[in-house]
Amino acid sequence: MTTPSKDYTFSELFGSQQTVFREEDVNQGEKVFTSSYTPHSIWHREEEMKALVSYFKSIITSPTTSSKKVILYGPVGTGKTVISHAFGNELTHYLARDRNHGDPRFRYFHINCRKTKTPHLILTTVLRYLVSGFPLRGFSVDELLRMFTLLLYEQNLVVLLVLDEIDYLIPEERTDFLYSLSRLEESPILREEYGVKERLESRFNLLTITRDKNFRYYLDSSTASSLGRSYITFAPYTRYQLFDILASRAELGLREECYTDEILDTIASLAEEKGDARFAVELLWKSAKLADQEGENKITIEMVRKAVVDVLPVERSLIDDLNSHQKLILLSIARLLSIREQSCVTTPQVKEEYETICEEANVRPRRQTQVWAYLRDLNRLGLIQQQVENRHSNGKSMGRISTIRIQDIPTKEIISSLNPLLAEQNLQPQA
Ligand X SMILES: Nc1ncnc2c1ncn2[C@@H]1O[C@H](COP(=O)(O)OP(=O)(O)OP(=O)(O)O)[C@@H](O)[C@H]1O
Task: Burial-class residue 277 by CB neighbours within 10 Å (0-12, 13-18, 19+).
Answer: buried
Stretch that binds ligand X, among 77-85, 198-206, 348-356, 387-395 (CB under 6 A): 77-85
Q: In the complex with ligand X, which residue's Cβ is closer, 73 or 148?
A: 73
Among positions 20, 21, 29, 45, the unique one binding ligand X when judged by CB under 6 A: 45
Q: In the complex with Mg ion, which residue's Cβ is closer, 104 or 236?
A: 236
The number of beta carbons lying within 10 Å of the beta carbon of residue 203 is 24
Contact between 51 and ligand X by CB under 6 A: the answer reads: no
Contact between 104 and ligand X by CB under 6 A: the answer reads: no
Q: Choose among 179, 184, 188: nearest CA to 203.
A: 184
Contact between 81 and ligand X by CB under 6 A: the answer reads: yes
Contact between 82 and ligand X by CB under 6 A: the answer reads: yes
Stretch that binds ligand X, among 18-26, 198-206, 277-285, 287-295 (CB under 6 A): 277-285
Contact between 274 and ligand X by CB under 6 A: the answer reads: no
Contact between 107 and ligand X by CB under 6 A: the answer reads: no
User: Going edge to edge, which strands form the sheet with 204-210?
Assistant: 105-112, 157-164, 204-210, 69-73, 230-233
Sites for ligand X among residues 364-423 (CB under 6 A)? none
The dihedral through the CA atoms of 40, 46, 52, 54 has a sign that is positive
Residue nearest to ligand X (CB): 79
Contact between 211 and ligand X by CB under 6 A: the answer reads: yes
Q: How far is the CB of 380 from ligand X (least distance, A)?
A: 14
Q: Which residues contact 170 (CB under 8 A, 6 or more apart)?
A: 117, 118
CA dihedral 142, 148, 151, 157 (to 10 degrees): -150
List interacting residues with Mg ion (CB under 5 A): 81
Q: Which residues contact 226 (CB under 8 A, 6 or more apart)?
A: 69, 179, 182, 183
CA 254 – CA 39 distance, rounded (Å): 15
Task: From the list ligand X, Mg ion, none, pick the one residue 42 interacts with, judged by a Cβ distance below 5 to 8 Å according to partner type.
Answer: ligand X
CA 145 – CA 164 distance, rounded (Å): 19
Rg (CA), the chain: 26
Contact between 78 and ligand X by CB under 6 A: the answer reads: yes
Q: How far is the CB of 315 from ligand X (least distance, A)?
A: 6
Contact between 236 and ligand X by CB under 6 A: the answer reads: no
Contact between 306 and ligand X by CB under 6 A: the answer reads: no
Task: From the list ligand X, Mg ion, none, pick the one residue 39 interacts with, judged by a Cβ distance below 5 to 8 Å according to partner type.
Answer: ligand X
* Longest pairwise C-alpha distance within the chain: 95
Contact between 253 and ligand X by CB under 6 A: the answer reads: no
The separation between CA 71 and the C-alpha centre of its own chain, rounded to angstroms, equals 16
Q: How far is the CB of 12 from ligand X (least distance, A)?
A: 36
Sites for ligand X among residues 141-160 (CB under 6 A)? none
Residues that bind ligand X (CB under 6 A): 35, 39, 42-45, 74, 76-82, 165, 211, 245, 277-278, 281, 315
